[in-house]
Structure 1
Amino acid sequence: MTTLVFGHKSPDTDSTGSPLIWAWYLTEVKGAPAEAVLLGEPNTEAAFVLDRWDLPKPRIIDAVEAGQPVVIVDTNNPAELPDAINDADIQAIIDHHKLVGGLETKGPIDIRIEPLACTATIMHKMIGADLAQAPTNIKGAMLSCILSDTLEFRSPTTTQEDRAIAEALANDLEIDIPAYAAEMFAAKSDVSSFSDAELLRMDSKTYEVGGKTFRVSVLETTSPATVLSRKDSLMETMPKVATEDGADQVLLFVIDILNEEATLLVPNDLVKSVAEKSFSTVAGEGDLLVLPGVVSRKKQIIPNLAV
């Protein structure tokens, strides 16, 4: 049976590219048929990467059948996976996030989790010399994933391994990293065609903190003013999205990639309190709070959240 390879819901570039990379590796190198699939529409940057490297857009699924062999990448959180994930036959997990718990497997499996900025960096290490067989578009996907997850090495999650592997891939592909990253970030910043609800869900993950459930959304952009010009309607939409998604509150952080800072929308007293307790700051009377140096949800936002 063909193994399905997928990442988290609301797929970003890493959760779009890494399944394609690993499905290629399993199928072409290991001789084990595999298919990359997505748990939702890819974001604008991921869609750009697919087009730029002439990669097929994986089909979108919303469920897996019992006994279906799967490889999970770029997450180990059941909340970010199909509801019946524990009924599937999980073969392996490749990830760079903290362990959340809750996944159950049919037997011993391969697990590779490393404190690196990107799943694709781990895959590069795992594939090793066999990467010489990879077509250009698979290497392009790998480079794109790393540049996306590191924000072109600006993120504090970036390691020397991430940078070295990205630079080696760029050299092999004859890609100028600053120019290509600028193209990627421009694609990510074009959110004009998305509704407020779609923006709030585009790159979001659910976390429980102090008895409250938060949908933590980040929008990484080189044009924060474009997003912030919609702050009133975004804040009006937050309660509806929170209710529909079973959360108490949506927290939206608009990440300014170039200036390396986040702006948190503060629609009510709950978010104001969370901001003050989480980031040791005074939210003041406005509905925007600028957090200098904050660009990483994984390393700077989630670990600090407090109610």
Structure 2
Amino acid sequence: MKDTIYITGHKNPDTDSICAAIAYAEFKNKTGHLDAIPVRLGDVNRETQFILNYFGVEVPKLIETVKVQVSDLHIDNVAPVSPDISLKMAWNIMKKNNSKTLPVVDENDLLMGIATISNLFSSFMDVWDNNILAKSGTTLENIVDTLSAKHVYIHDENLKLRGKIVTAAMGPESTESILEPGDIVICGDREDTQKVVVEKCASLMIITGNHIASSEIIELAKKSGCSILSTPYDSFTTSRLITQSIPISFVMARDNILSFDTDDFVEEIRDIMLETRYRSYPVIDTYGKVLGTISRYHLISQNRKKVILVDHNEKTQSVHGLEDAEVLEIIDHHRIADIQTGNPIYFRNEPVGSTSTIVASIFFENGIRPSKKVAGLLCAAIISDTLLFKSPTSTNVDKLMLKRLSEIANIDVDSFAKEMFKAGTSLSNRTVDEIFHQDFKVFTLNNLKIGISQISTMDLEGFHDMKSDMLSLMDKKAVENGFNLIVFMLTDILKGGSELFVAGKEKELVARAFNVKLTGPSVYLPDILSRKKQVIPPITAAITSLK
């Protein structure tokens, strides 16, 4: 069985985050016996959607958490049973599968009850009612199966039992005195007793010891409507076994059944298990169908989800529940932050313009050629993160990788970049909230909570009427979410600069960081294009200088 590994970028994913995850998943699948799955932690932006459409690549699956869920556990794959199977069959299934619980389902495979060993045991010990077969709706088929019986004469295949169980161990006269029409009678090979049973219109006669009825008895049975079976068991064993033909539906638990969904989190069901203390619990899927059972043992042997992080190594930017997962690798080009791991891992961090540059390098270093589609995605991510090398984060390595990849993808870099930026930077028909959260990252710098959003555009005029609403949104977010400082970077791709909008109690940090005077809620900074290299470091230095 292949190990499933989730490869994910950061929250509010940008193009590099999405493309690097898809590309690295292809690399891992080509080089190992794995099922590497690229995933995303939020909606893709317009630029990324354009790129995925351009190269014909599906949007990665959205996940909200990597906390361990029931679906991650190796549950007992106990096949659910039909409600009309006999107790004997249920017991045999339990012994065969070493199971103490059987889920019972209806004709649509939906859970309708639970049969446990205690249910079966109670039926053996507590049932003294000789009308139990009639009350439980036992079928002739169940009786034949339970007693390993053979048909001698069957009056009605759909026989509805309505009488009591009688063991005719006495003489004919005594037997006659206790029989009533419709009874189920167990008897031996005495023909005089058999005759009485048939003439009293029993609904079913069971002959023990593998004996069969004479032709005379069979003829009488046809007239009276009495079915006849022959079992290899003796009278005592037959009497003991026949109640095991009761359908499981008669003894199963129906009310207040506690079951778990595959999407339930292990940390939540653990507490429920401790409170209820059942041996096992049915597991159902999103459609209500039973998949198997789970017990406390499965929680001990739980498997943590395996993840690889790309384009980030900061906990606040990563997937929810990361502390419950097993981080295998980190591929990034940002500052080293605060993610901790329990074991040594492969951590590759390089001062290049794009994580996709590193992923491309990994392909070529291992003598592996990325597919044409993935090469195209890597090209687009490098162009996006470096603003086609206008960003100060750009390096010669980025340029070298873009050249090699563009040849594989068969694209003209300049014309593709223009088309990509045009599709991705238009602000028309977009809300302030969408623009702000398109690429919003949270940082903790010397115990101060800092939020920085950035959007690159060729459409500055399209933002003019949004300024007031953007500042209101930032002020509200700073108060409600406890940010000391929030910065929104509106980066002009054509001019090569950014206007910084600020909010929060510590907005003077921006003035200190860039040695400018804030006369309003924003300031334009020429040649400032990179959040990572040109904004975070000076703000960090400004915070440190306050100490």
Which bin holds the TM-score, normalised by the shorter protein?
over 0.9
Counterpart contact for 1:124–1:131, Cα < 8 Å: no
TM-score (norm 1): 0.93
2:383 is aligned, of 140, 147, 159, to: 147
Counterpart contact for 2:498–2:529, Cα < 8 Å: yes
Residue ranges of structure 2 left out of the alignment (5+ in a row): 69-303
The corresponding residue for 1:33 is: 35
**Larger displacement relative to structure 2 (5-14 or 22-31):** 22-31
Residue ranges of structure 1 left out of the alignment (5+ in a row): none
Alpha-carbon distance, 1:208 to partner: 3.1
Cα deviation digits, residues 236-294 of structure 1 (max 9, x gap): 111223345442332111000111100112467843x222101011223x443110100
Report SS of the residue matched to 1:40: coil
The corresponding residue for 1:64 is: 66
**Larger displacement relative to structure 2 (190-199 or 151-160):** 190-199
Alpha-carbon distance, 1:211 to partner: 4.7
The corresponding residue for 1:53 is: 55
Paired with 1:85 and 1:77, the residues of 2 have a C-alpha distance of: 11
Alpha-carbon distance, 1:20 to partner: 0.4
Report SS of the residue matched to 1:2: strand
Paired with 1:244 and 1:71, the residues of 2 have a C-alpha distance of: 32
Counterpart contact for 1:8–1:75, Cα < 8 Å: yes
Counterpart contact for 1:238–1:249, Cα < 8 Å: no
The corresponding residue for 1:12 is: 14
Query: Whose relative contact order is higher, 1 or 2, with alpha carbons under 8 Å and at least 6 apart?
Result: 2
Counterpart contact for 1:197–1:241, Cα < 8 Å: no
Paired with 2:487 and 2:31, the residues of 1 have a C-alpha distance of: 42
1:91 is aligned, of 305, 310, 328, to: 328
Map 1:234-245 to 2 at 5 A. 234-245=470-481
Task: Find out whether 1:229 has 2:231 as its counterpart.
Answer: no
Alpha-carbon distance, 1:186 to partner: 1.3
Query: Relative to structure 1, is the Cα distance of residues 90 and 229 closer, same or farther in structure 2, using a 3 angstrom cutoff?
Result: same
Paired with 1:287 and 1:247, the residues of 2 have a C-alpha distance of: 16
Q: Between Structure 1 and Structure 2, whose CA radius of gyration is higher?
A: 2
The corresponding residue for 1:166 is: 402
Alpha-carbon distance, 1:131 to partner: 6.5
Paired with 1:151 and 1:115, the residues of 2 have a C-alpha distance of: 16
Paired with 1:82 and 1:23, the residues of 2 have a C-alpha distance of: 17
Paired with 1:185 and 1:175, the residues of 2 have a C-alpha distance of: 15
Alpha-carbon distance, 1:135 to partner: 2.0
The corresponding residue for 2:435 is: 199
The corresponding residue for 1:274 is: 509
Paired with 2:513 and 2:523, the residues of 1 have a C-alpha distance of: 12
Runs of 4+ in 1 over 4 A off after TM superposition: 129-133, 266-270
Query: Relative to structure 1, is the Cα distance of residues 21 and 155 closer, same or farther in structure 2, using a 3 angstrom cutoff?
Result: same
Which amino acid letter does the alignment assign opposite residue 333 of structure 2?
Answer: H
Counterpart contact for 1:118–1:145, Cα < 8 Å: yes
Paired with 1:65 and 1:249, the residues of 2 have a C-alpha distance of: 30
Query: Relative to structure 1, is the Cα distance of residues 289 and 4 closer, same or farther in structure 2, using a 3 angstrom cutoff?
Result: same
Alpha-carbon distance, 1:167 to partner: 1.7
Task: Find out whether 1:187 has 2:423 as its counterpart.
Answer: yes
TM-score (norm 2): 0.53
Report SS of the residue matched to 1:229: helix
The corresponding residue for 2:310 is: 73
Paired with 2:340 and 2:517, the residues of 1 have a C-alpha distance of: 42
Task: Find out whether 1:111 has 2:336 as its counterpart.
Answer: no
Which amino acid letter does the alignment assign opposite residue 303 of structure 1?
Answer: P
Report SS of the residue matched to 1:33: strand
The corresponding residue for 1:157 is: 393
Cα deviation digits, residues 157-193 of structure 1 (max 9, x gap): 0000001110222233332212111112112212333
Report SS of the residue matched to 2:463: helix
Q: What's the RMSD between the two structures over aligned residues?
A: 1.9
Paired with 2:379 and 2:502, the residues of 1 have a C-alpha distance of: 35
Paired with 1:281 and 1:128, the residues of 2 have a C-alpha distance of: 45
Counterpart contact for 2:485–2:504, Cα < 8 Å: no
Paired with 1:99 and 1:168, the residues of 2 have a C-alpha distance of: 28
Which amino acid letter does the alignment assign opposite residue 38 of structure 1?
Answer: R
